[in-house]
Amino acid sequence: MQVIIVRGKEEMGRRAAALIAEQMRRRPHFVLGLATGSSPLPMYQEWIRMNKAGELDFSTTITFNLDEYVGLPPTHEQSYRHFMNANLFDHVNIAKAATHVPDGMAADPEAFCEAYEAMIDDVGGIDYQVLGIGSNGHIAFNEPGSSLASRTRVVNLTQRTIKDNSRFFARVEDVPTRAISMGIGTILEAERIVMLTYGANKADAVAKALEGPVTATVPGSALQLHPKVTWVIVEDAATKLKLEWRR
């Protein structure tokens, strides 16, 4: 695994944006796996800058997002589709029809999950997957205990996640209790992976995922099984690492 430790989240965003852009320029119809949340935002801002400056073209890029809440329409401002439009897709020259976010309103969510995997296969798989990690070690909505071989599926959100998310909704009853999430097995099939992380609250999860045993209780540790992973970590999230990653 490659570990890059940087000073701040802007540098994290620039480094990760450049790593992926280098691969995107080599191949038309590049397939990106994307995440929501705060971790990838500095990278999305850098991509938007690069796109406006004519340094990076998204016109033939295809994207698949990791996850979406079940029961939220794409227009809901807490939906991950809304997040992706607002924070990336609306600001670059990507074809919206080539952007895929799991359909939280699918009549048959289980069948949708199978179809989502088939769509990824049909375009030849994900070339570069972007990830963030939860403070409990989760990746996508694969909470601790998720099988390392899991596929895209409907997952129940933990009480902790529901409570954490309730701040974004008017009433706690409005918080979705289920989500569609790519599985850990699905994520590991990407050709390359970049993990973005910052913040002292992530330091334990980063240390366990990078230096602890590979275990389903720390889903991020599954990345140790992948041959081409780059972690771009802001130093405040790297304080609990013990091995000599710094060069």
Residues marked as catalytic:
67, 136, 138, 143
The stretch among 35-43, 69-77, 96-104, 232-240 that binds ligand F6R (CB under 6 A) is 35-43
Residues 232 and 192: their CA atoms lie apart, in Å, by 13
Least Å from the CB of residue 235 to ligand F6R: 16
Q: Which of 17, 19, 36, 113 contacts ligand F6R by CB under 6 A? A: 36
- Choose between 38 and 239: whose C-beta lies nearer to ligand F6R: 38
In single-letter form, the type of residue at position 53 comes to A
53-92 positions binding ligand F6R, by CB under 6 A: 66-67
Q: How far is residue 72's CA from residue 65's CA, in Å, rounded to a whole number?
A: 15
Residue 3 vs 194, nearer CB to ligand F6R:
194
| The one among 17, 35, 84, 126 contacting ligand F6R by CB under 6 A | 35
Binding characters for ligand F6R, 103-142, by CB under 6 A (x = yes): -----------------------------xxx---xxx--
List beta partners, residue 65.
34
CB 150 within 8 A of CB 142: yes
DSSP letters, 152-182, are SEEEEPPHHHHHHHGGGSSSGGGS-SEEEE-
Minimum gap (Å) between residue 155 Cβ and ligand F6R: 11
* 71, two tokens: 């029961």
Give 212: exposed, middle or buried? Use CB within 10 Å, 0-12, 13-18, 19+. middle
Q: Which residue has the tokens 């999305």?
A: 44
Nearer to ligand F6R, 37 or 71 (CB): 37
Which parts of this chain interact with ligand F6R (CB under 6 A)? Answer: 35-39, 66-67, 132-134, 138-140
